[in-house]
């Protein structure tokens, strides 16, 4: 990913400062900040991150766009987490978290953070995203106001395809140690980076990370995996040309099939009786060569426990 994009000129009008962004940043950085000061902070954050990560999502300020929040299941996730017994809130992971804005917003919106055991994780392949996030939000581990969110860098494809072995205790600092621990898993704009085979391998690993064991003292009666990425509008699979040589676009139907296949393989076919898969497609323009009619797929997979 790191070398796929040319470094383009940055334009000021790439930033559309919404009231929501202003409120979020005032809560994070200081109630008295003016809009001009917030704009300056965001331009500096973009320039700094773009030096080592010249990606469209940085250039276009996607790192303050709150895409997680726009998923229909978002309010339910907060409500569900708030019902958990004290200090036993569900463990949430944002995989491919970029600078960690979505997670910080989730916590601002009321997602509970446990006092004695870390339950909010943000992981990205590139360590620079983690450090740029700390720089923007001034909440790294060495600051006087460290975030309760545990961020670290790791590659999802290094996670072994088995949840066997003892589940690691305490705060994890690798994805391998999060196997079998995650109750809520978010993957935003991640799947569409890869071809069909790799998307399957990625989904398999998400299935290894989730915790499908119900325990009465936590009352963890749901596991939710959710996300958004570019797929295909038609009821068929399609390829789109990309900087990576041809990323794969699932249709809503093939996306559902993929999850049914993976969950059945990992947990047995009966799990599907306890599973709801929801896909909302948002029509985007067709590629100029018309081979691929793009759509955002906004999706969630909810597994009801106990199985």
Ligand X SMILES: C[S@@+](CC[C@H](N)C(=O)[O-])C[C@H]1O[C@@H](n2cnc3c(N)ncnc32)[C@H](O)[C@@H]1O
List the x/- string, 227-266, binding to ligand X by CB under 6 A. Answer: ----------------------------------------
The 3-state DSSP class for residue 92 equals strand
The sign of the CA dihedral 43, 39, 94, 270 is negative
Q: Is the peptide bond before 306 cis (omega within 30 degrees of 0)?
A: yes
Closest contact distance (angstroms) between CB of 215 and ligand X is: 28
DSSP for residue 236: S
Shortest approach of ligand X to residue 102 CB, angstroms?
7
- The least distance separating ligand X from the CB of residue 66, rounded to whole angstroms, comes to 9
| Residue 1 binds ligand X, judged by CB under 6 A | yes
Q: CB–CB of 224/77 below 8 Å?
A: yes
* Footprint on residues 144-183 left by ligand X (CB under 6 A): 155-157
Residue 208 is a binding residue for ligand X (CB under 6 A): no
Q: Give the DSSP H/E element, type plus range, for residue 70.
A: none
Q: With CB under 6 A, what is the number of residues at the site for ligand X?
A: 19
- Which window, 43-51, 120-128, 164-172, 260-268, contacts ligand X (CB under 6 A)? 120-128
Q: Which residues, 6 or more positions from 30, have their beta carbon under 8 angstroms from its beta carbon?
A: none
Segment near ligand X (CB under 6 A), from 4-12, 43-51, 109-117, 186-194? Answer: 186-194
Choose, by CB under 6 A, the member of 96, 112, 133, 252 that binds ligand X. Answer: 96
Report d(CA 281, CA 249) in Å as an integer: 12
Q: How far apart are CA 45 and CA 137, in angstroms?
A: 10
- Per rule CB under 6 A, is residue 57 in the interface with ligand X? yes
Overall residue count recorded for the chain in this entry: 307
Tell me which stretch binds ligand X (CB under 6 A): 74-82, 187-195, 280-288, 289-297. Answer: 187-195
Interaction between residue 10 and ligand X (CB under 6 A): no
Residue 188's SS3 state is: strand
- Tell me: does residue 62 bind ligand X (CB under 6 A): yes
| Closer residue to ligand X, CB minimum distance, 156 or 206 | 156
Residue 122 CB-half CA count within 13 A: 26
Give the residue with the Cβ less far from ligand X, 64 or 263: 64
Q: Which residues make Cβ contacts (< 8 Å) with residue 280, sequence separation at least 6?
A: 72, 297, 298, 299
Does 189 sit near ligand X (CB under 6 A)? Answer: yes
Q: Which of 112, 122, 188, 249 binds ligand X (CB under 6 A)?
A: 188
206 binds ligand X per the rule CB under 6 A? no
Q: Give the range of 6-14, 104-112, 118-126, 247-255 binding ligand X by CB under 6 A.
A: 118-126
C-beta of 149 vs 271, nearer to ligand X = 149
Would the CA dihedral through 66, 67, 71, 74 be positive or negative?
A: negative
Taking CB under 6 A as the binding criterion, the range among 13-21, 83-91, 189-197, 213-221 that sits at the site for ligand X is 189-197
Can you tell me the distance from the alpha carbon of 50 to that of 44, in angstroms, rounded to the nearest whole number?
10
Q: Which of 74, 121, 129, 134 binds ligand X (CB under 6 A)?
A: 129
What secondary structure letter does DSSP report for 75? H
Check residue 277 and report its DSSP letter. Answer: E
Q: Single out the residue of 4, 31, 15, 2 nearest to residue 64, CA to CA.
A: 15
Please state, in angstroms and rounded to a whole number, the distance separating the CA atoms of residues 173 and 301. Answer: 26
15 lies in the binding site for ligand X (CB under 6 A)? no
Instruction: Catalog residues that contact ligand X under the rule CB under 6 A.
Output: 1, 57, 62, 67, 95-98, 124-126, 129, 155-157, 188-190, 193
């Amino acid at each position: 990913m790191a070398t796929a994009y040319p470094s383009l000129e940055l334009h000021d009008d790439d930033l559309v400062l919404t009231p929501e962004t202003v409120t979020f940043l005032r809560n994070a950085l200081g109630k008295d900040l003016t809009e001009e000061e917030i704009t300056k902070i965001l331009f500096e954050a973009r320039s700094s991150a773009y030096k080592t990560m010249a990606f469209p999502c940085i250039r276009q300020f996607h790192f303050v766009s709150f895409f997680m929040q726009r998923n229909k299941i978002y309010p339910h996730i907060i409500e569900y987490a708030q019902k958990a017994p004290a200090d036993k809130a569900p463990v949430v992971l944002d995989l491919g978290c970029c600078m960690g804005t979505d997670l910080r917003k989730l916590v601002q919106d009321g997602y509970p953070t446990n006092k004695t055991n870390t339950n909010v994780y943000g992981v990205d392949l590139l360590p620079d995203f983690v450090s740029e996030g700390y720089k923007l939000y001034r909440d790294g581990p060495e600051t006087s106001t460290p975030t309760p969110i545990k961020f670290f860098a790791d590659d999802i494809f290094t996670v072994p395809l088995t949840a066997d072995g003892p589940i690691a205790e305490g705060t994890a600092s690798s994805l391998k140690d999060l196997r079998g621990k995650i109750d809520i898993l978010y993957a935003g704009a991640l799947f569409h980076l890869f071809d069909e085979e790799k998307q399957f391998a990625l989904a398999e690993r998400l299935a290894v990370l989730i915790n499908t064991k119900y325990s009465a003292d936590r009352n963890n009666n749901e596991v939710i995996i959710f996300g958004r990425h570019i797929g295909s509008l038609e009821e068929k699979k399609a390829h789109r040309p990309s900087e990576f040589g041809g990323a794969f676009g699932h249709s809503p139907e093939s996306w559902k099939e993929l999850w049914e296949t993976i969950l059945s393989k990992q947990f047995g076919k009966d799990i599907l009786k306890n599973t709801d898969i929801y896909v909302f497609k948002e029509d985007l323009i067709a590629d100029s060569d018309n081979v691929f009619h793009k759509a955002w797929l906004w999706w969630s997979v909810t597994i009801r426990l106990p199985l």
